[in-house]
Amino acid sequence: MITLREFLDLCEDYNPNAEFVIFNKKTRTVLGTARGFDQAKTKASSIRKQRGLKFDDVSFMTSRRFYGKRTPAASTGRRIEYSPRYNPSKRGRFRGVWDAQGDYADLD
C-alpha cells in the first residue's frame, strides 16, 4: 500500500501539464525545461545530441522533485538536524537547529 504523497508524486509524472527539468546527472546543471513527459523526453534526447553527451549523462524529472520541497524553515534560514542516535527518555531523536548566522542550538 502506498501513501497519498507517493500517489500524488506518481500522478504528477503523468500529468500532461507538469513542468520537467532536464539536467546533467554528473554536475546537476539545468540544461532546459519542458511541459509534459513526452515533450521532456524528446527535448532531453535532442539536447543530448546537440551537446554530444552520453545517454546516461542527461536526465529529467519534475521541477518539484528537482528543486525539492519548500518549507518555512528553509525560507527563514533555519535548518533542523536530527541525530542518528535515539533518545529513549524523550522517545525521539536528538534535535538541533542552525540559524542564519551559523549558530547551533539544541531543541531538546
**Position 22: which residue type?**
I
pLDDT > 70 fraction of the chain, expressed in percent and rounded: 68
Q: Give the separation between CA 47 and CA 38, rounded to whole angstroms.
A: 14
| 106 — pLDDT class (breaks 50, 70, 90) | low
pTM: 0.54
- Whose grid coordinates read 539536467? 23
Break the chain into its structural domains and give their ranges: 4-67, 72-106
**Position 98: which residue type?**
W
